[in-house]
Amino acid sequence: MEQKTLTRADITEAIYKELGFSNVESANLLSQVLEEVSVALENGENVKISSFGTFSLRQKNERIGRNPKTKVEVPITPRRVVSFRPSLKLRKAVNKP
């Protein structure tokens, strides 16, 4: 079973077909939405999209990792990571037989 990856161009095309905007307007709309999500996450805010899911930030502490090739231990610096929790509606749709 071959998996297809949904790209920015695919989403722009869908906006173009569904809403009737020009390709340029569709691309700009998508860029604006993604920029809003990015800025909110950069500012430490969670992003909740109803019936889709929630993007949230988690703080990861410093820990010791190991290079699998050389077995040398290396400290991994603390950092923030983005996690996604799908909505119940999305989970049901994905797991539908």
The residue ranges of every structural domain in the chain are: 7-44, 46-97
Question: Which of 44, 47, 11, 7 has the alpha carbon at shortest distance from 26?
Answer: 11
Q: What pLDDT is stored for residue 77 in this prediction?
A: 94
CA distance 27 to 6: 15
Q: What pLDDT is stored for residue 2 in this prediction?
A: 74
Q: Which CATH architecture has domain 46-97?
A: Irregular (4.10)
Q: What is the block-wise mean pLDDT of the chain (97 residues), using blocks of 10 residues?
A: 87 93 94 97 96 95 93 93 96 90
Q: What pLDDT is stored for residue 1 in this prediction?
A: 57
Q: What pLDDT is stored for residue 3 in this prediction?
A: 83
Q: What pLDDT is stored for residue 96 in this prediction?
A: 86
